[in-house]
Structure 1
Amino acid sequence: MFDHVVFGVSDYAASKAFFLKALEPLGVAIVSEGPLGVEFCCSDSNASLCIRRVEEAATHLHLAFKAVNRGQVENFYKAAIEAGAKDNGAPGLRPQYHSNYYAAFVIGPDGHNIEVVCHEPEV
């Protein structure tokens, strides 16, 4: 549905390093960087995530990324915590959403709630 999402961060270097490490298990990499910020993208998608420098305090967002399997959810969570994120929900089923909703949540450098979710049953 989305082509790209852009939001501001207060500590550009910390946020860039965080998203690069935390989203690496999903195949996300930097595709461009310039004066306006950095663009991350997955090799299997045309949608991108862009962060830019802002002086004012960032508005907190909830960003949810799709995983193809539960292992990616677990690898994201581990990588995000190693990158300095705060736990906001370890990998696990969230049956209140639906029976196969397997997700993990972390709080990133600017207080954004970052989620990775797999909707597929365990194989």
Structure 2
Amino acid sequence: MLDHVTLGVSDVERSKTFYDRALRPLGIARLYAEGATFAGYGVGRKAFFWIGTRDKSQTGAHVAFACPDRATVDAFHAAALAAGGTDHGQPGLRPHYHANYYGAFVLDPDGHNIEAVCHLPSG
């Protein structure tokens, strides 16, 4: 079981601006900041998603956030694009994963693949 995940970013201020907006539709907010180099996002008082300045960002990471419904996936995708993300997969069904897999993908400013997914049928 995971407790938290941290992604290295090249510019933490730029990434905070992106994640502040992109994660809002998911009910995830910035909860903590450790100086000018780290920020933690989560729900309540528990930060489970962290970003931190690295000398060299490492792309290729894929983080998926669970959503309660497909509308939240759509809202995440729109907010992430408006915040400067790059489309990496429009919201929609991915039946090759399973019949109700509804996801959307964006690349953050450092090229990390950020996904929102709902596993429930529409309705």
TM-score (norm: length of structure 1): 0.93
Mark the CA change 1:88 to 1:59 in structure 2 (over 3 Å): closer, same or farther.
Answer: closer
Distance in 2 separating the partners of 1:7 and 1:38? 10
> Which piece of structure 1 moves more, 83-92 or 46-55?
46-55
5+ residue gaps in structure 1? none
Over residues 11-38 of structure 1, what are the superposed CA-to-partner deviations in whole Å (9 max), with x where a residue is unaligned? 1111111111101001011111113511
TM-score (norm: length of structure 2): 0.93
Q: Which residue of 1 aligns with 2:27?
A: 27
Over residues 63-100 of structure 1, what are the superposed CA-to-partner deviations in whole Å (9 max), with x where a residue is unaligned? 11100100100000000000011111110000000000
Q: Which residue of 2 aligns with 1:63?
A: 63
Which amino acid counterpart does residue 32 of structure 2 have in structure 1? Answer: S
Q: Which residue of 2 aligns with 1:40?
A: 41
Pairwise CA RMSD? 1.4
Alignment: residue pair count? 122
Per the TM alignment, residue 2 of structure 1 is displaced from its structure 2 partner at its CA by 1.1
Q: Which residue of 2 aligns with 1:73?
A: 73
5+ residue gaps in structure 2? none
Segments ≥4 residues shifted beyond 4 Å: none
Identity %: 46
Contact kept, 8 Å, 2:32 with 2:40, in 1: the verdict is yes
> Which piece of structure 1 moves more, 7-16 or 74-83?
7-16
